[in-house]
Amino acid sequence: MKTLDLSFSEPALNLACDEVLLDEVHSGNREPTLRFWESPSLFVVVGYGNDIERECQTQACQKLGIPILRRSSGGGTVLQGPGCLNYSLILQIADNEKTGNIGTTNCHVMRTNRDALGQALGQAIEIEGHTDLAIDGVKFSGNAQRRKRDALLFHGTILLAFDLPLIGQALRLPSSEPDYREGRSHETFCRNIPLTPEVVKQALGQSWLCGGQAPPIDAGKVQRLAGEKYSRPDWIHRRAKRSQASE
């Protein structure tokens, strides 16, 4: 496993980068990779099967200048921006029982991340819903996955110093929520955790047995995919279909 600490200034490039990494691991042209990134600007990203009008406060986003994009994995809608650290884990599937299907992958990744961050915090962390991490029932990390035949992308957010009231301004209450949420507002349901990005990166890197830096990614390839897919209105506003990815 190699690490890649790479953030782009444009939201579409950050989304495209994850897909390029997935394609390269899937084709055997890249080792399994753990990427970290953080957006310098606010943007909303809806899950593959989400309906923008249902999940987003579209008028408020327009007024606040917050663009809305769509990712290729499942899961819910997220407000990205400064103080929200993202990780992207790209793994080979092979014949590994831990990554053999959606459910076993969820368990494997969430337990690994829970243990790593819990040790760094010195505090108990719970796995809630399918792929949330929480402390005393308050969420600080949401995650999603996308699978191909020979590789998978498992990525998520970790709230460290995010402006939590902004979430309710940009997002509606979700159309689907885990039982433990109990209808709570975004501001009372979500929290930051008192860790620095450097500590989180070190904790996850050690738990995933990372050794060394990943080779550079082809920026031109990322830019092309962003332009051909993630920046296009027909992708962003596509009609929701049943997702083959998973929360």
**What single DSSP character describes residue 99?**
G
Map tokens 């039982």 to a residue. Answer: 179
Domain ranges of the chain: 2-236
Low-confidence ranges of the chain (pLDDT < 70): 240-247
| Type of residue numbered 210 | C
Query: Which pLDDT does position 134 carry in this prediction?
Result: 99
CA distance linking residue 121 with residue 141, whole number of Å: 14
Query: Which pLDDT does position 42 carry in this prediction?
Result: 99
CA distance linking residue 89 with residue 25, whole number of Å: 11
pTM strictly above 0.75: yes
Tokens representing 48 are: 């593959």
Cα angle 84-90-93, degrees, rounded to a multiple of 5: 145
Query: Which pLDDT does position 96 carry in this prediction?
Result: 79
Q: Which CATH superfamily is domain 2-236 in?
A: Bira Bifunctional Protein; Domain 2 (3.30.930.10)
Query: Which pLDDT does position 245 carry in this prediction?
Result: 46
Phi, psi of 246 (to 5 degrees): -145, 150
Tokens representing 36 are: 């970290």
